[in-house]
């Protein structure tokens, strides 16, 4: 399964995240966990689930090395 990087908006809040391709449609309204009403505003790059997972681990290592987690 491929993922796309997306910008989501809810009111004044903005979230950039990776979503499965079938959810990454501009204008689609999503429910994330218990928080509904996020609107997909922009869709960018496409990558695989493995690449998304690798990037997540890179970020966690970066944060831990700086005492952020």
pLDDT digits (tens, 9 = 90+) for 1-49: 889 999 999 999 999 988 999 999 999 999 988 888 999 999 998 878 7
What pLDDT shows up at residue 41?
96
What pLDDT shows up at residue 49?
78
Output the pTM of the full model.
Answer: 0.69
Higher pLDDT pick, 58 / 56: 56
19-58 CB burial, b ≥16 within 10 A, e <16: beeeebeeeeebeeeeeeebebeebeeeeeeeebeeeeee
Domain boundaries defined on the chain: 2-65
Higher pLDDT pick, 52 / 36: 36
């Amino acid at each position: 399964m491929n993922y796309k990087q997306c910008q989501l908006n809810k009111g004044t809040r903005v979230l950039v995240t990776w979503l499965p391709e079938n959810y990454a449609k501009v204008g689609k309204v999503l429910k994330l966990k218990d928080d509904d009403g996020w609107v997909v505003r922009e869709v960018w790059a496409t990558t695989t689930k493995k690449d998304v997972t690798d990037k997540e681990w890179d970020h966690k290592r970066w944060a831990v090395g700086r005492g952020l987690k």
